[in-house]
Amino acid sequence: MKIVRITHKATGMKLAEGPTGWGITPFEGNYYIRRKYLATERLRPNFIPGLCVYKFLYVWLDLCLDDGQRVRSLGWFYWLPNPLLPFIAFRTALPGSHPELEVETYEVGCSNSASI
């Protein structure tokens, strides 16, 4: 099973970690994360809306740091998602290539070697 871990580089804060698939869905270079696999509650809506012509309405999310600073518009959340794209519906999204984020992937599980 492939696991994805997303951290904020400057602070080392883990933002999300979980299995790819319905847990953390990679799509168009971004990661759509189920609430269960979010590792922080510090992503807050800044109420700046956005519109994607085929994914519909979203709001930007800021990361609130321990020192009171905010990383503006680090992620987003579809409040009115396209019903044809259920894997983005009501999930926090983080970009796969953001200079302030580190995305790691690794494998866990059984080895494929068999003994006879």
pTM, 2 dp? 0.90
CA separation for the pair 22, 8 (Å, rounded):
23
Q: Token pair of 2, please?
A: 């492939």
Residues 50/25, Cβ–Cβ less than 8 Å:
no
Two structure tokens written together for 55: 């994914």
Q: What is the pLDDT of residue 115?
A: 47
Please name each of the domains of the chain with its CATH number: 2-107 (2.170.150.40)
Range 66-89 average pLDDT: 94
As a whole number, the mean pLDDT across the chain is 93
Q: Where are the beta strands (DSSP E) in 1-116?
A: 2-8, 14-19, 24-27, 30-33, 43-52, 56-64, 70-81, 92-95, 101-107
What are the tens digits of pLDDT across the range 12-47?
999 999 999 999 999 999 999 999 999 999 999 999
Measured between its terminal Cα atoms, the distance across the chain in Å is: 24
